Amino acid sequence: MREASAHFDEAQGALIASGVWHAEAASALPNVSGKTVRILDGAGVAELDTNGAWLLLTAARPRASDPMPELRAFQPQHLAMLNLVAQHAAATAAQTGPHREGMLELIGRSTLVVWANVVGLLGFVGQLFLELMTLLGHPGRWRWREFGTQLGSIFVGAIPIVAGMLFLLGVVFAYLLGDQALQFGANIFVVDGILLAVMREVSPVIVAVLVAGRTGAAITAQIGTMKVTDEIDAITTLGLSPLAVLVIPRMLALLIAMPLLVFIGDIAGVVGGMLVAQEQLDISYSIFRDRMVDVLELTTLLVGLCKAPVFAVFIALIACRMGLSVTRDARSVGANTTSTVVQSLVAIIVLNAMFAVTFVKLGI
Amino acid sequence: MAELVIDVQNVSTTLGGRSIHRDLSLSVARGEVIALIGGSGTGKSVLMREIIGLLKPQAGRIELFGQSVWDSTSEQMNTLRRRFGVLFQDGALFSSLTVEDNVATPLFEHTDLPHATCRQLARLKLALAGLPPDTAGKRPSELSGGMRKRVALARALALDPELLFLDEPTSGLDPISARAFDKLIRLLADSLGLTVFLVTHDLDTLFSIIDRVIVLSDGQVLGSGTLAELKHIDDPWLRDYFAARASEGETVHGN
């Protein structure tokens, strides 16, 4: 095979090509800008494909509206190739590149996306409420099996990670708190601190964050993939409601699983604290238990537990809605899954702050 | 005989304990338009995946352009891959890229042309595949099934391959689009001098654009030849296959 080569003959106004003309031959083209190519000579061309033909033609006439150069001494099959490409050359004219967004446009667009998410969420809540009303009238349409499956993966599957995380956080809390308390000889108050921190704040928030990352992302990815493969449409066509079949079982499962997980987290956190108290602060298990019975109020536990279902509803709403709003490509599944986690985390932090203010105002 | 583009010798395949091909051999010469037919589960798609180097057969030898597919280094294989294009059954377009970038991807990866030139060449391929210019900026999800097939064909043609593999190119298309697609393939095969290897169930494709048909049955090549030659083979599946066409023709006449 011969290397592609080409040179421009000034006297004839001819671009003379030879060798093998494939896509790689582009570098062999001489610079003919500003000159008029009247003749394209292909006597020495050994091979020519559509990419090669396009390169030669475009060099000879940069715009498809320019007059066609004379094609000289090409082999018949190469001539046919050039003519085929020339027919379609107009379509390859360079179009304006993708529009680049300025800062202002970006801010505006993002604001619209956030607004659309808020409005979309409200609309989704409305639809879901109507669906729930219908389901209350027809108890036979509840999807118990789906509910059971979801409860299994959301609750049972999350127990080890929740227990492990909260146990370690309990250890860290007790250790740092004990370090300070030791200086004042106020060891015993470490028990009060751990109970309050773990049950009221740490366990509900950490469990919600874990569930948002673990279950929320999974729900969006699953429903989103079903959307891409038309499964959601199939469910609708079978006369079923995707909300009743997919969304409500997941939401209910989350609603039940979350408080249970928070309770497990409470226990694990306190156990972690107990261990450190025993090792570091000479507070034996029995003293810890006695102190716990003295200072632990039921409201501390309940305040933590009552946050859980609220977080659960928001995570489920966000995850299911983002799943259903996936468009038909792989990238949007990824984008919506990310968005679910971000929206859920923001919702958890904001809700938790609202709870804190409310409880203080109520004096709880 | 002309130069062999595809040469499959004594290939045997077992998948999940089930024997798919037993000592199967076939060959395709340069410039031929070949159809591979056979009942469901006779291993047509499996054979195609083996020829293009996606699935390794248990035994046998497969050569493309005289070079063994399964004894090549990955570098040799990459050089080989530039010489053939594949159209997958449902298009397999990259859903996160625009149509234009889908077609330009092989050019981006395998040539050192500037990206602007790659995109222009991509638009040339789209025009050759019969798509209007405004398709270029769209996403695959915005296109109809027939248009997606055309985009996939344009992508398979991006590097001007000498050999084109098509897995059920007309499945899922309406008869009018399917016939137009057939004509397009034949036109491209004739004008670009392509060798085409297609797996199909579409009888109309067989009757309109195919030079030679290879029939797979029971893990082996049952027969190979023009449609007229195949009608002389006495095989129950093949008889039923062509009978389906005959009765279809009668119904049309009846109406």
Q: Encoding tokens for residue A254?
A: 């989350």
Most confident of A169-183, A205-219, A270-284: A205-219
Q: Where are the alpha helices (DSSP H) in B72-215?
A: 74-81, 99-110, 115-128, 145-156, 175-192, 203-209
The residue type of B63 is: E
**Quick count: other Cβ atoms within 10 Å of Cβ A257?**
25
Residues 6+ apart with CB under 8 A from A106: none
A54 contacts in B (CB within 8 Å)? 120-121, 124
| pLDDT value of position A111 | 93
A326 contacts in B (CB within 8 Å)? none
Q: Smallest Cβ distance to A92: which of B113, B123, B192?
A: B123
By the CB < 8 Å criterion, does B159 face chain A?
A: yes
Q: For chain B, give every domain's residue range.
A: 4-83+163-254, 97-160
CB distance B112–A50 less than 8 Å? no
Q: For chain A, give every domain's residue range.
A: 5-92, 105-362
| pLDDT value of position B252 | 42
- Separation CA B159–CA B164 (nearest Å): 11
Cα torsion A37, A38, A43, A48: sign: positive
User: In sequence order, what E strands does chain B have?
Assistant: 4-15, 18-29, 33-37, 59-64, 67-68, 84-87, 163-167, 195-199, 212-217, 220-225
Residue A19 predicted with pLDDT over 80: yes
Query: pLDDT tens-digit profile of A77-124?
Result: 788 888 888 877 777 775 655 567 788 999 999 999 889 888 988 999
Q: Burial level of B175, CB count in 10 A (0-12/13-18/19+)?
A: exposed
Residues 6+ apart with CB under 8 A from B254: none
Residues 6+ apart with CB under 8 A from A123: none
CB distance A94–B120 less than 8 Å? yes
Q: Smallest Cβ distance to B191: which of A22, A81, A327?
A: A81
pTM of the model: 0.65
User: Which pLDDT band, with edges at 50, 70 and 90, does A70 fall under?
Assistant: confident
Residue A222 predicted with pLDDT over 90: yes
**Angle formed at CA A255 by CA A251 and CA A261, multiple of 5 degrees:** 130
Residues of A306-335 as b/e, b for ≥16 C-beta within 10 angstroms?
Answer: ebbebbbbbbbbbbbbbbbbbbebeebbeb
| pLDDT value of position A323 | 93
Residue B19 predicted with pLDDT over 90: no
A80 contacts in B (CB within 8 Å)? 191
- Separation CA B157–CA B147 (nearest Å): 15
More confident residue, A4 or A356: A356
- DSSP per-residue codes, A147-194: HHHHHHHHTGGGHHHHHHHHHHHHHHHHHHHHHHHHHHT-TTHHHHHH
Give the residue from B82, B124, B139, B144 with the most A CB atoms within 10 Å of its CB, the best one to mutate.
B124
Query: pLDDT tens-digit profile of A131-151?
Result: 888 888 888 778 888 899 999
By the CB < 8 Å criterion, does A89 face chain B?
A: yes
- Separation CA A189–CA A84 (nearest Å): 88
Place of tokens 């979350």: A258
| Contact in structure between A314 and A253 (CB atoms under 8 Å) | no
Instruction: Domain B4-83+163-254: give its CATH code.
Output: 3.40.50.300
Query: pLDDT tens-digit profile of B139-196?
Result: 888 888 888 888 888 888 888 888 889 888 888 777 887 888 888 788 778 877 789 9
Work out the mean pLDDT of chain B and round it to a whole number.
82
* Residue B42 φ then ψ, to 5°: -90, 0
User: Which pLDDT band, with edges at 50, 70 and 90, does B97 fall under?
Assistant: confident
A328 contacts in B (CB within 8 Å)? 95, 141
Residue B253 predicted with pLDDT over 50: no
**Angle formed at CA A233 by CA B99 and CA B181, multiple of 5 degrees:** 40
CB distance A23–B141 less than 8 Å? no
Residue A189 predicted with pLDDT over 70: yes
Query: pLDDT tens-digit profile of B69-85?
Result: 888 888 888 888 888 88
Work out the mean pLDDT of chain A and round it to a whole number.
88
- Separation CA A253–CA A198 (nearest Å): 24
**Angle formed at CA A243 by CA A238 and CA A247, multiple of 5 degrees:** 125
**Angle formed at CA A226 by CA A220 and CA A228, multiple of 5 degrees:** 100
Q: Smallest Cβ distance to A51: which of B121, B123, B139?
A: B121
